[in-house]
Amino acid sequence: MGVKVKERKGAWGVFINHRGQRRAKRCASKKAATMVADKIDAALRLGHTDVLEPQSTPGQVPTLAEYT
C-alpha cells in the first residue's frame, strides 16, 4: 500500500498504489495534495476501498432535438 504526493508536469498529485490497483488524483497545490493523501491513507488503513472504485461516468447527453 502506498499513497505518495508528487509533482508531475507542473501540477501536484496524489498517487495511490493499493493491492495492485493504481489511481492518481490531481490537486491544486502541494498542501491540498498532502491533506488528500493523509485522508486517503487513513481510509485505506481502515479498509475503505471506495476511493479505488472507478468514477461513474455521466449518462448519455441528450441531443438538442430530444431536449426541446
Structural domain boundaries in the chain: 2-50
Helix (H, G, I), strand (E, B) or coil at 36: helix
Whether the CB-CB separation of 29 and 60 falls below 8 Å is answered with: no
- pLDDT of the chain along its 68 residues, tens only? 688 999 988 899 999 988 888 888 888 899 999 998 999 889 888 888 777 776 666 677 778 888 77
Q: Where are the beta strands (DSSP E) in 19-54?
A: 21-27
Flag whether the pTM goes above 0.85: no
